């Protein structure tokens, strides 16, 4: 029996010839025509990703920003209505439970988007620590599309009713209508490219999807999304972000604001002192692909492990993120062990491909 959940676009994916695979309890498209072609479509044109598996939570209540500030790492009290903010959820030990996006819809109203692989943990975590707020999930009727690429504005604008997309700045959000489907439109994404994310009702998903494809937008799978986020140097939960690693170790110290007051995990982070290891970028000097869990050595001695790796279609070279000791510096050479063979790699500062945000 197949217990995997399906998004409202499952039939569209199947009809388009997508290769569907299990991902975080969902049956999701990993690719259509091929990962390389889909990465190129985003870099040179526009692609659309079905990310309806991600959890959407409506959060309401009085003095909501102050309450949320006690459970997120960032300072959400400074986020204005119509703006989007990134943050981490931390455990009491200072480890990362998840990375999340918060959309401030009103003075007392937010929507929070969580990773699909962590949704079953994040919602009860928030419920337990924010009993004064109402937290309702949209799982029964939610869709989310990420329209990404250098031509995102050009391809999306004809489908948007009465809104000039050029007026939206990065991490702006507002209510919008796409081909008559109403929802929340935000400028942002997880590819390092310009783009938008649209959160709306599941029953409207097929019409919006078809309209995008009819306007020349390329359907893209999770394989291309992972390559693009890695080229952009962005972390993925379960890889660069883990409960046993602090934000400093995961390279996300910038998302922790100690000047805002108390929050879950703060005391533990202050007690730990400076990190002794952290996520770094690697440019492998051969075509060998470094995969999650592969050992990293220095002069043959173990020093760390790869957390994510791929052959970058944009650069034509093998890239990776890895957990390495603080003592290693940018420009140093290490070795990635692939099938018992050591391949030299240079430590570099991500992103591997410059971001193209507007």
Tally of CA atoms within 13 A in the half-sphere of 339 that contains its CB: 2
The predicted structure's pLDDT at residue 317: 97
Task: Read off the pLDDT of residues 99-135 as tens digits, 9 standing for 90 and up.
Answer: 999 999 999 999 999 999 999 999 999 999 999 999 9
Give the Å distances, CA to CA, from 236 to 114, 195, 230, 276, 318.
Answer: 12, 19, 9, 21, 18
The predicted structure's pLDDT at residue 356: 85
The predicted structure's pLDDT at residue 162: 94
Q: Do strands 218-220 and 47-50 pair parallel, antiparallel, or not at all (unpaired)?
A: parallel
| Strands (DSSP E) found in the chain | 19-23, 26-31, 47-50, 55-60, 84-90, 96-106, 109-114, 134-137, 143-148, 173-178, 181-187, 195-200, 218-220, 277-284, 295-298, 301-312, 317-325, 333-338, 341-348
Domain ranges of the chain: 10-52+142-231, 56-139, 276-358
Task: Read off the pLDDT of residues 163-175 as tens digits, 9 standing for 90 and up.
Answer: 999 999 999 999 9
Instruction: Report the C-alpha dihedral over residues 337, 339, 341, 346, rounded to 10 degrees.
Output: -30
Residues paired with residue 196 on neighbouring β-strands, in sequence order: 147, 187
Task: Read off the pLDDT of residues 25-74 as tens digits, 9 standing for 90 and up.
Answer: 999 999 999 999 999 999 999 999 999 999 999 999 999 999 999 999 99
Assign 296 a pLDDT band (cuts: 50, 70, 90). Answer: very high
Residue 186 pLDDT exceeds 90: yes
Cis previous bond, 3, omega within 30: no
Mean pLDDT of 5-26: 97
Residue 181 pLDDT exceeds 60: yes
CB contact at 8 A, 309 and 281: no
Residue 82 pLDDT exceeds 80: yes
CB contact at 8 A, 194 and 154: no
Mean pLDDT of 224-246: 98
Fill in the DSSP letter of residue 142: -
Mean pLDDT of 303-330: 98
> What does residue 165 show for φ and ψ, rounded to 5 degrees?
-65, -25
Instruction: Report the C-alpha dihedral over residues 354, 84, 259, 135, rounded to 10 degrees.
Output: -140
| Strands (DSSP E) found in 222-294 | 277-284
Residue 148 pLDDT exceeds 60: yes
Superfamily name and number for 276-358: Aminomethyltransferase beta-barrel domains (2.40.30.110)
Mean pLDDT of 71-80: 98
The predicted structure's pLDDT at residue 357: 63
Q: In whole numbers, what is the pLDDT of the chain averaged over residues?
A: 98
Residue 346 pLDDT exceeds 80: yes
Residues paired with residue 57 on neighbouring β-strands, in sequence order: 112, 137
Residue 1 pLDDT exceeds 60: no
Residues 6+ apart with CB under 8 A from 242: 95, 96, 250
pTM of the model: 0.96
CATH class of 10-52+142-231: alpha beta
What CATH number has the domain spanning 56-139? 3.30.70.1400
Separation between Cα atoms, residue 30 and residue 247, nearest integer Å: 29
Residue 2 pLDDT exceeds 80: no
């Amino acid at each position: 029996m197949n217990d995997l959940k399906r998004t409202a676009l499952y039939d569209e994916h199947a009809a388009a010839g997508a290769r569907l695979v299990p991902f975080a309890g969902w049956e999701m498209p990993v690719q259509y025509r091929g990962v390389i072609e889909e990465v190129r479509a985003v870099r040179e044109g526009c692609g659309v990703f079905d990310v309806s598996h991600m959890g959407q939570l409506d959060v309401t209540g009085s003095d909501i920003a102050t309450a949320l500030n006690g459970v997120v790492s960032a300072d959400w009290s400074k986020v204005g209505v119509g703006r989007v903010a990134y943050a981490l959820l931390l455990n009491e030990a200072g480890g990362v439970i998840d990375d999340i996006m918060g959309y401030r819809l009103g003075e007392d109203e937010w929507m929070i988007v969580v990773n699909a692989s962590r949704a079953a943990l994040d919602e009860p975590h928030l419920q337990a620590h924010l009993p004064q707020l109402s937290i309702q999930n949209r799982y029964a009727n939610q869709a989310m599309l990420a329209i990404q690429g250098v031509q995102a504005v050009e391809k999306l604008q004809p489908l948007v009713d009465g809104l000039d997309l050029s007026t939206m700045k990065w991490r702006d959000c507002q209510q919008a209508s796409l081909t008559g489907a109403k929802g929340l439109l935000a400028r942002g994404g997880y590819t390092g490219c310009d783009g938008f994310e649209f959160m709306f009702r599941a029953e409207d998903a097929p019409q919006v999807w078809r309209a995008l494809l009819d306007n020349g937008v390329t359907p893209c799978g999770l394989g291309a999304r992972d390559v693009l986020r890695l080229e952009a140097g962005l972390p993925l939960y379960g890889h660069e972000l883990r409960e046993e690693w602090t934000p400093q170790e995961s390279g996300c110290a910038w998302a922790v604001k100690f000047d805002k007051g108390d929050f879950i995990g703060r005391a533990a982070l202050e007690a730990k002192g400076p990190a002794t290891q952290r996520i770094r970028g690697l440019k492998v000097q051969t075509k060998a692909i470094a995969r999650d869990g592969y050992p990293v050595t220095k002069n043959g001695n173990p020093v760390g492990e790869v957390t994510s790796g791929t052959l970058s279609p944009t650069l034509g070279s093998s890239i990776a993120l890895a957990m390495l000791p603080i003592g290693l510096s940018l420009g140093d050479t290490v070795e990635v062990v692939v099938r018992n063979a050591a391949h030299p790699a240079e430590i570099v500062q991500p992103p591997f491909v410059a971001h193209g945000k507007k």
